């Protein structure tokens, strides 16, 4: 614990920078009417933001917790999630610079609006991870919905408008439940004798420990509402109805951001509450709930993957399935379960971005994402096919890719704890998903060439991002870098 | 508990009756404008509750919140709604999927359920049971309005009623959250409504109607 960082000194500035850069960036980009200029500014500001996040992560690693005032704090868990935000948003910004070259001017639908909204979206997600106060965390989580709703409806087609409206309404209602849960937790804390000013601060709530657990019914009520509320944003079944629509209709870079970063941020919020309630009342209740939601999401999404006809909807359901896997890891707890869950948040983000990037290329080239209208890709678009293949093999959890490691860790935790039902369901769903992906992939890659893609060669922004993501998956599958595993263990220590 | 404390508790309990009245009337309202008016009245009642608690607890912050509630929920939001209905030139009917009789019956049932649900909690945490039941039934009614009314505008209104319920629950159990958080929540609501307004325009542009139940292209 750091003693002298309550003020707003140099450390405070460090935390303020990654929040201030995207907000200022959004304002600057909105003023640039030239699309090329807007793109360049976005890349520059994105680089600055990543650098600022990197400094925060490094400081947390070397000096421990950072705090700025009463509302901002970064500990190892926040910095682990900041790391994946920084990595994925960097990839997405680079990919978007190529993806948006065909986008014209429209109301809220021009490149400058796109980048401005992306930066606002980034601002809310970074703030979620940096808030020290559960109220502020809620505000920022609702902010993520607001910032991304216009991005989901970016194309302004019938489908996009419908998906955007559904996203806005379903998530706002879901998040309203999380607000209710936050209020109930606040009530429990105040009743347990905590100072109202500190009763929403997660460090104080963690330290309050068993004292908070005196009123168990309130604590449980709070957790139920929170997991339903934030679970809506994670995409837990049965609150997942917005997710496939939003992922399928949004521009591809946004689908990648939603799936790879937003869902993780919501998962981060649930982790915080889980840690607080586990400290106060023992892990049995929250972990059982997480397991139930996790298994349910995994099974339902796994089955729905089989019947999908649209490539991006297929990937959206795969995200639901992987959020289920992470929830199972958290629900099992234990060293391997936590390790697997945290590692899986990162691995899934990388693999899913790679898949969405290749889906974006397919849409640009063939003008469709319907699986039955795509064939013989391996001949007409070899590079994109390779990326799609690598991403799919990784996402179904085959070695030598990184997702194998994290899924294996979670599975071995299930066996260690002798939870054979969970383990069996886990394995069955994984094999169903494998079959589903193999079937869909086979139909798209093979067949007689009947289509003529416009420009099958990848441009630099595409092969760079896809290459980095693919190599990262391969590398993490073979061996987790030392620094990364230290950061991961520090993050685990916060949750234990 | 002093005289003022008892008086405040009675005020909170008896004002719940007005809250029940507004949601029952919302169930039978056929026009969007009537529903908006009822929402506005509901927010007046809530403002009064905030002020009563501010007076009893001598909380300056609560007065600020009271003023904010009045400005935003009684004045600004209803005005925005009227402006929106005018601009969208939509039919004024709420397009309910249940008859008024059914709706009243369902809302009454929800009020009953709320009493049953909060009974044990209310006594454990020393808050007026009526007020807590009113809060929960506002939440339930808001959700009911959202699923049973087909107009996009009514879904927004249902969301606001739901949010009012959460606000009342927070108010009577904890005397409200810290001011900064409260302001942040108001800000989120405003931006959310603004975005929903933008989307209603887009829906009416792309589909030529505002009937959300007809938006079912995306399936599976």
Which burial class, exposed, middle or buried, applies to A467 when counting CB atoms under 10 A from its CB (0-12, 13-18, 19+)? middle
Length of chain A: 496
Contact across the interface for B173 and A133, Cβ inside 8 Å: no
Contact across the interface for A313 and B220, Cβ inside 8 Å: yes
Contact across the interface for A156 and B202, Cβ inside 8 Å: yes
Residue whose C-alpha is closest to residue A338's, from A234, A483, A494, A220? A494
Q: By three-state DSSP, how is residue B104 classified? A: helix
Omega within 30 of 0 (cis) for the link into B62: no
pLDDT digits (tens, 9 = 90+) for A145-177: 999 999 999 988 899 999 999 999 999 999 999
The number of helix segments (H) and strand segments (E) in chain B equals 8, 0
A and B: number of Cβ contacts within 8 A: 119
Report in angstroms the alpha-carbon separations of A166 from A58, A117, B130, B209, B213: 39, 19, 34, 16, 11
Report in angstroms the alpha-carbon separations of A254 from A92, A312, B107: 8, 12, 40
pLDDT digits (tens, 9 = 90+) for A340-362: 999 999 999 999 999 999 999 99
SS3 sequence of chain A: CCCCCCCCCHHHHHHHHHHHHHHHHHHHHHCCCCHHHHHHHHHHHHHHHHHHHHHHHHHHHHHCCEEECCCEEECHHHHHHHHHHHHHHHHHHHHHHHHHHHCCCCCCCCHHHHHHHHHHHHHHHHHHHHECEHHHHHHHHHHHHHHHHHHHCCCCCHHHHHHHHHHHHHHHHHHHHHHHHHHHHHHHHHHCCCCHHHCCEHHHHHHHHHHHHHCHHHHHHHHHHHHHHHHHHHCCCCCCCHHHHHHHHCCHHHHHHHHHHHHHHHHHHHHHHHHHHHHHHCCHHHHHHHHHHHHHHHHHHHHHHHCCCEHHHHHHHHHHHHHHHHHHHHHHCHHHHHHHHHHHHHHHHHHHHHHHHHHHHHHHHHCCCEHHHCCCHHHHCHHHHHHHHHHHHHHCCCCCCHHHHHHHHHHHHHHHCCCHHHHHHHHHHHHHHHHHHHHHHHHHHCCCCCCCCCCCCCCHHHHHHHHHHHHHHHHHHHCCCHHHHHHHHHHHHHHC
Q: Alpha-carbon distance B67 to B62, whole Å?
A: 9
Residue whose C-alpha is closest to residue A351's, from A270, A308, A407? A407
pLDDT value for A156: 87
Q: Alpha-carbon distance A66 to A425, whole Å?
A: 41
- Which of A131, A151, A169, A309 is the best residue to mutate to test the B interface, defined by the most B CB atoms within 10 Å of its own CB? A169
Contact across the interface for B191 and A146, Cβ inside 8 Å: yes
CB A30, CB A116: distance < 8 Å? yes
Q: Which of residues 150-179 of B touch A (CB under 8 A)?
A: 152, 155, 159, 162-163, 166, 169-170, 173-174, 177-178
Residue A288, min C-alpha distance to chain B (Å): 23
pLDDT value for A3: 41
Q: Alpha-carbon distance A336 to A164, whole Å?
A: 38
% chain A with pLDDT above 70: 98
pLDDT digits (tens, 9 = 90+) for A191-231: 888 888 889 999 999 988 888 877 788 899 999 999 999 99
CB B193, CB B163: distance < 8 Å? no
Contact across the interface for B192 and A142, Cβ inside 8 Å: yes
- Which of A171, A174, A177, A187 is the best residue to mutate to test the B interface, defined by the most B CB atoms within 10 Å of its own CB? A187
Residue A245, min C-alpha distance to chain B (Å): 6
Q: What is the DSSP string of B137-178?
A: HHHHHHHHHHHHB-BHHHHHHHHHHHHHHHHHHHHHHHS-S-
Between helices A111-130 and A35-63, what is the axis angle to 10°? Answer: 10
Residue B211 is classified by DSSP as B
- Measured between CB atoms, does B147 come within 8 Å of chain A? no
Task: Name the CA dihedral angle for A85, A426, A249, B96, rounded to a multiple of 10 degrees.
Answer: -120
CB B144, CB B205: distance < 8 Å? no
Residue B143, min C-alpha distance to chain A (Å): 8
What is the separation, in whole angstroms, between the first and last Cα of chain A?
Answer: 16
Q: Region A431-458: what's the mean pLDDT?
A: 86
Q: Which residues of A touch B160 (CB under 8 A)?
A: none
- Lowest-pLDDT choice from A95-109, A240-254, A395-409: A95-109
Residue whose C-alpha is closest to residue A172's, from B34, B20, B194, B137? B194
Q: Region A304-327: what's the mean pLDDT?
A: 96
Q: What pairs with residue A131 in β-bridges? A: A72
Q: Which residues of A touch B215 (CB under 8 A)?
A: 162, 165-166
CB A240, CB A82: distance < 8 Å? no
pLDDT value for A452: 75
Q: Which residues of B touch A169 (CB under 8 A)?
A: 146, 155, 159, 196
Contact across the interface for A173 and B199, Cβ inside 8 Å: no
pLDDT value for A212: 85
- Measured between CB atoms, does B119 come within 8 Å of chain A? no
Q: How high does pLDDT run on average in chain A?
A: 92
At A40, phi and psi to the nearest 5? -60, -45
Contact across the interface for B181 and A139, Cβ inside 8 Å: yes
Residue A2 pLDDT > 70, yes or no?
no
| Sole residue written with tokens 């614990």 | A1
pLDDT value for A267: 97
Nearest to A159 among B124, B125, B217 (CB): B217
Contact across the interface for A168 and B196, Cβ inside 8 Å: yes
Which H/E stretch holds residue B72? none
- Measured between CB atoms, does B184 come within 8 Å of chain A? yes
pLDDT digits (tens, 9 = 90+) for B103-160: 999 999 999 999 998 887 777 777 889 999 999 999 999 999 998 988 889 999 999 9
pLDDT value for A96: 94
CB B156, CB B34: distance < 8 Å? no
pLDDT value for A451: 72
Nearest chain B residue to A177 by CA: give it: B166
Query: What percent of chain B is helix, strand and coil (3-state, nearest 5)?
Result: 80, 5, 15
Q: Alpha-carbon distance B104 to A206, whole Å?
A: 45
Residue B132, min C-alpha distance to chain A (Å): 13
Report in angstroms the alpha-carbon separations of B109 from B35, B113, B115, B118, B142: 20, 6, 10, 14, 14
Q: How high does pLDDT run on average in chain B?
A: 89
Q: By three-state DSSP, how is residue B189 classified? A: helix
pLDDT value for A1: 38
Task: Name the CA dihedral angle for A145, A150, A151, A153, rounded to a multiple of 10 degrees.
Answer: 110
Residue B75 CB: number of other CB atoms within 10 A?
12
The pTM score is: 0.95
- Measured between CB atoms, does B203 come within 8 Å of chain A? yes
Q: Which residues of B touch A69 (CB under 8 A)?
A: none
At A61, phi and psi to the nearest 5? -65, -40
| Sole residue written with tokens 């970074």 | A126
Residue B185, min C-alpha distance to chain A (Å): 6
Q: What is the DSSP string of B12-45?
A: HHHHHHHHHHHHHHHHH--BHHHHHHHHHHHHHH
Residue B55, min C-alpha distance to chain A (Å): 19
Q: Alpha-carbon distance A94 to A97, whole Å?
A: 5
Nearest chain B residue to A151 by CA: give it: B195
Q: Alpha-carbon distance A194 to A474, whole Å?
A: 48
| Angle at B56 (CA atoms; ends B53, B60), nearest 5 degrees | 70
Between helices A482-495 and A263-281, what is the axis angle to 10°? Answer: 50
Binned at pLDDT 50, 70 and 90, residue A457 comes out as: confident
Q: Which residues of B touch A133 (CB under 8 A)?
A: 181
State the ipTM, two decimals.
0.93
Q: Which residues of B touch A249 (CB under 8 A)?
A: 218
| Angle at A268 (CA atoms; ends A265, A273), nearest 5 degrees | 135
pLDDT value for A6: 46
Binned at pLDDT 50, 70 and 90, residue B219 comes out as: low
Nearest chain A residue to B164 by CA: give it: A176
pLDDT value for B93: 81
Residue A288 pLDDT > 60, yes or no?
yes
Q: Alpha-carbon distance A410 to A415, whole Å?
A: 9
pLDDT digits (tens, 9 = 90+) for B51-102: 999 998 888 889 999 999 999 999 999 999 999 888 887 777 888 888 999 9
Residue whose C-alpha is closest to residue A358's, from A433, A450, A443, A465? A465
CB A66, CB A59: distance < 8 Å? yes
Q: Which residues of A touch B207 (CB under 8 A)?
A: 158, 161
């Amino acid at each position: 614990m750091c003693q002298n960082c309550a003020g707003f000194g140099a450390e405070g500035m460090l935390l303020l920078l990654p929040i201030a850069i995207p907000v200022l960036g959004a304002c600057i980009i909105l003023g640039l009417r030239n699309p090329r200029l807007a793109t360049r500014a976005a890349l520059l500001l994105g680089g600055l933001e990543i650098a600022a996040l990197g400094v925060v992560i490094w400081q947390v690693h070397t000096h421990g917790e950072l705090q700025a005032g009463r509302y901002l704090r970064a500990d190892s868990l926040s910095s682990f999630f900041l790391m994946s935000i920084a990595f994925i948003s960097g990839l997405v910004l680079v990919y978007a610079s190529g993806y948006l070259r065909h986008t014209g001017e429209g109301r809220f639908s021009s490149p400058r609006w796109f980048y401005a909204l992306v930066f606002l979206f980034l601002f809310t997600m970074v703030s979620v991870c940096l808030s020290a106060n559960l109220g502020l965390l809620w505000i920022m989580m609702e902010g993520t919905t607001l910032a991304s709703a216009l991005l989901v409806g970016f194309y302004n087609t019938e489908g996009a408008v419908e998906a955007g409206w559904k996203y806005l309404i379903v998530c706002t209602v879901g998040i309203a439940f999380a607000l209710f849960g936050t209020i109930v937790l606040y009530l429990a804390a105040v009743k347990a004798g905590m100072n109202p000013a500190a009763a929403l601060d997660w460090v104080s709530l963690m330290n309050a420990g068993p004292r908070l657990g005196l009123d168990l019914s309130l604590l449980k009520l709070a957790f139920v509402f929170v997991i339903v509320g934030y679970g809506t944003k994670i995409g837990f079944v049965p609150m997942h109805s917005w997710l496939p629509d939003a992922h399928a209709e949004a521009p591809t870079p946004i689908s990648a951001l939603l799936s790879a970063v937003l869902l993780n941020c919501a998962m981060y919020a649930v982790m915080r509450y889980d840690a607080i309630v586990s400290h106060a009342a023992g892990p049995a209740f929250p972990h059982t709930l997480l397991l139930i939601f996790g298994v349910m999401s995994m099974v339902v999404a796994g089955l729905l993957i089989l019947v999908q006809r649209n490539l991006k909807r297929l990937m959206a359901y795969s995200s639901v399935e992987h959020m289920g896997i992470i929830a199972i890891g958290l629900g099992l707890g234990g060293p391997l379960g936590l390790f697997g869950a945290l590692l899986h948040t990162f691995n899934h983000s990388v693999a899913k971005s790679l898949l969405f990037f290749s889906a974006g290329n397919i849409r640009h080239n063939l003008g469709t994402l319907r699986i039955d209208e795509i064939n013989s890709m391996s001949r007409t678009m070899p590079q994109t096919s390779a990326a799609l293949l690598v991403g799919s093999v990784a996402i179904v959890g085959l070695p030598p890719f990184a997702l194998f490691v994290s899924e294996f860790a979670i599975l071995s935790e299930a066996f260690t704890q002798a939870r054979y039902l969970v383990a069996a369901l886990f394995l069955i769903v994984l094999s169903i998903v494998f079959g589903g992906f193999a079937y869909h992939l086979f139909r798209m890659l093979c067949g007689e060439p009947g289509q003529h893609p416009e420009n099958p060669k990848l441009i630099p922004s595409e092969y760079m991002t896809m290459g980095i993501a693919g190599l990262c998956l391969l590398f993490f599958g073979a061996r987790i870098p030392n620094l990364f595993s230290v950061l991961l263990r520090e993050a685990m220590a916060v949750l234990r | 508990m002093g005289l003022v404390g008892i008086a405040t508790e009675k005020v909170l309990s008896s004002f719940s009756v007005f809250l029940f009245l507004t949601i029952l009337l919302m169930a039978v309202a056929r026009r969007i404008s009537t529903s908006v008016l009822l929402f506005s009245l509901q927010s007046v009642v809530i403002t009064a509750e905030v002020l009563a608690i501010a007076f009893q607890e001598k909380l300056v912050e609560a007065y600020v919140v009271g003023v904010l509630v009045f400005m935003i929920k009684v004045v600004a939001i209803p005005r925005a709604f009227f402006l929106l209905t005018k601009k969208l030139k939509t039919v004024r009917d709420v397009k309910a999927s249940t008859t008024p009789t059914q709706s009243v019956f369902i809302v009454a049932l929800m009020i009953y359920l709320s009493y049953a649900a909060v009974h044990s909690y209310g006594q454990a945490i020393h808050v007026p049971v009526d007020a807590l039941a009113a809060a929960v039934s506002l939440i339930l009614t808001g959700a009911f309005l959202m699923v049973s009314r087909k107009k996009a505008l009514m879904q927004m209104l249902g969301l606001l009623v739901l949010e009012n319920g959460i606000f009342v629950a927070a108010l009577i159990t904890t005397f409200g959250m810290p001011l900064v958080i409260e302001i942040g929540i108001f800000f989120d609501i405003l931006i959310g409504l603004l975005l929903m307004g933008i989307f209603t325009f887009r829906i009416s542009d792309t589909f030529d109607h505002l009937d959300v139940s007809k938006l079912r292209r995306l399936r599976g």
